[in-house]
Amino acid sequence: MYSRFIVSAFILVVGYIATLVGTKIISSMFSKLALRTKSDTDDYILRLIVETIKPLGIAISTFAAWRVLAIKVNIPFVNGTIAGVFKLILLFLIVRLINRVLIRLITSWAQKINDPAVSTMLRSLSPMVRALIWCIGVVFYLNNMGVQMAAIWALLSAGGIGAGLALKEPVQEFFEYITILLDKPFQNGQFIHIDGVWARVERVGVRSTRMRSINGEIIVMSNSSLTNGVISNYAEMESRRLVHKIGVVYNTKYSQMESIPNIIKSIVEETNDAIFDRCHFIEFGESSLDFELVYYIPTNNYLSAMNAQQRINLEIMRVFEREGIEFAFPTQTIHVSK
């Protein structure tokens, strides 16, 4: 027994020394390799590998020394517990290394992509990647410990069905979130209209989207409601088309009627941020002679469009007043016969 203790201590000491020396040598070799590249990602990955080698070597050396020492000790519970703890340490070190490397690769990939929506989507997948790697590691650990996996798979299948039913809506909202990021019907900061809601998008979340309405309050709408609805995105609008109907009274003279389109055309053309399209006498209304005015505002800014529209409307009123042209309002004339 004494000789086994000596051998165990020798293995432990040699293992520790080999781990420390090997770590130094590998660190020096990896550092030289990392200097040949301009990317920081490979430096980070090599540093993680070096950091993992040291505790991994210490754990292996300790377990090997224990195995030599415990050959004569036939206590299944103690041996099984120590073996389980050793395998758990290996699982933790390896899974943590894989997770950190994958997350760094995903982050590096996201930074290289010019599309911010895709970058955000890749970063949002990091927790899911971590959870998946840990689940795979735990399954391998349980299988290696001799656990009957048939029962585990049956339990996971039943739990998966239940979780699928319970998480149907959250999972659906997550995939709608992915759809919004990839298809990009709107982005943060854009002004949209959907189902009677006029608002500016503040943040697209995994389950819902936060918007700031024109009245100032926060509106939270599920991603599925957004993707299933009809969205008007005013940020993508290059110009705004405005159509107005102008009615004048029936006793307006023919010469005045003929001059109205030219008057309105000159008003629109003299207004900044406005492009004239057409103005026509379109119909004999019930109480007015109706003209239709169409012009464009070459901007997607709502305030600029309203300012241009206001200037045009005020100028039309001023010129009509000067020319003696009266605007019509709903009237009804009753003729009574004796």
**pLDDT tens per residue across span 258-290:** 999 999 999 999 988 889 999 999 999 888 999
Q: How confident is the model at residue 54 (pLDDT cuts 50, 70, 90)?
A: confident
Q: How far apart are CA 33 and CA 27, in angstroms?
A: 10
Asked if residue 9 and residue 136 are part of one domain, the reply reads: yes
Asked if residue 132 and residue 23 are part of one domain, the reply reads: yes
Asked if residue 199 and residue 282 are part of one domain, the reply reads: no
Domain end (from 117, 139, 166): 166
Q: Which residues contact 96 (CB under 8 A, 6 or more apart)?
A: 52
CA 90 to mean position of chain CA atoms: 36
Q: How far apart are CA 235 and CA 246, in angstroms?
A: 29
Q: How far apart are CA 265 and CA 294, in angstroms?
A: 10
Asked if residue 103 and residue 24 are part of one domain, the reply reads: yes
Dump pLDDT digits (tens) for 69-112: 665 555 555 666 777 777 778 888 888 888 888 887 777 776 76
Is 145 a residue whose pLDDT tops 60?
Answer: yes
Q: How far apart are CA 204 and CA 290, in angstroms?
A: 46
Asked if residue 159 and residue 41 are part of one domain, the reply reads: yes
Asked if residue 245 and residue 232 are part of one domain, the reply reads: no
Asked if residue 213 and residue 67 are part of one domain, the reply reads: no
76-112 and 116-124 helices cross at what angle (nearest 10)?
Answer: 170
Q: What percentage of the chain carries pLDDT values higher than 70?
A: 73
For residue 208, the cross-strand partners are: 222
Q: Specify the range with the lowest mean pLDDT, choosing from 127-131, 228-232, 324-328.
A: 127-131
The residue whose two tokens read 């689940």 is 135
CA separation (Å) from 318 to 142, 216, 228?
86, 35, 47
Q: How far apart are CA 27 and CA 49, in angstroms?
A: 9
Model pLDDT, residue 73: 53
Is 162 a residue whose pLDDT tops 60?
Answer: yes
Q: How many Cβ atoms from other residues are within 10 Å of residue 110's Cβ?
A: 19
Q: Looking at the domain assignment, is residue 187 inside a domain?
A: yes
Q: How many residues does the chain have?
A: 338
Asked if residue 147 and residue 246 are part of one domain, the reply reads: no
Instruction: Taking the CA atoms of 108, 114, 120 and 124 in sequence, report the sign of the dihedral they define.
Output: negative
Q: Looking at the domain assignment, is residue 332 inside a domain?
A: no
Predicted model pTM: 0.46
For residue 275, the cross-strand partners are: 296
Q: Specify the range with the lowest mean pLDDT, choosing from 84-93, 238-247, 318-327.
A: 84-93
Asked if residue 275 and residue 261 are part of one domain, the reply reads: yes
Q: Specify the range with the lowest mean pLDDT, choosing from 61-75, 264-278, 305-319.
A: 61-75
Model pLDDT, residue 282: 93
The residue whose two tokens read 């019509």 is 328
Q: Looking at the domain assignment, is residue 95 inside a domain?
A: yes
The residue whose two tokens read 């709608």 is 176
For residues 199-220, give the mean pLDDT: 84
For residue 281, the cross-strand partners are: 291
Of 306, 297, 307, 308, the closest CA to residue 238 belongs to 297
Asked if residue 12 and residue 125 are part of one domain, the reply reads: yes
Q: Looking at the domain assignment, is residue 260 inside a domain?
A: yes
Mean pLDDT for all residues in the chain: 78
Domains in the chain, number: 3
Q: Specify the range with the lowest mean pLDDT, choosing from 38-47, 152-161, 209-218.
A: 152-161
Q: How far apart are CA 198 and CA 211, in angstroms?
A: 9
Residue 225 belongs to domain spanning: 183-236
Asked if residue 254 and residue 124 are part of one domain, the reply reads: no
Q: How far apart are CA 202 and CA 199, in angstroms?
A: 9
Q: How far apart are CA 305 and CA 241, in angstroms?
A: 10
Query: Domain holding 210: CATH number?
Result: 2.30.30.60
Q: Looking at the domain assignment, is residue 175 inside a domain?
A: no
For residues 15-41, give the mean pLDDT: 70
Planar angle of CA 213, 180, 196, nearest 5 degrees: 30
| Residues 223 and 266: beta-carbon distance below 8 Å | no
Domain end (from 236, 255, 270): 236
Q: Which residues contact 318 (CB under 8 A, 6 or more apart)?
A: none
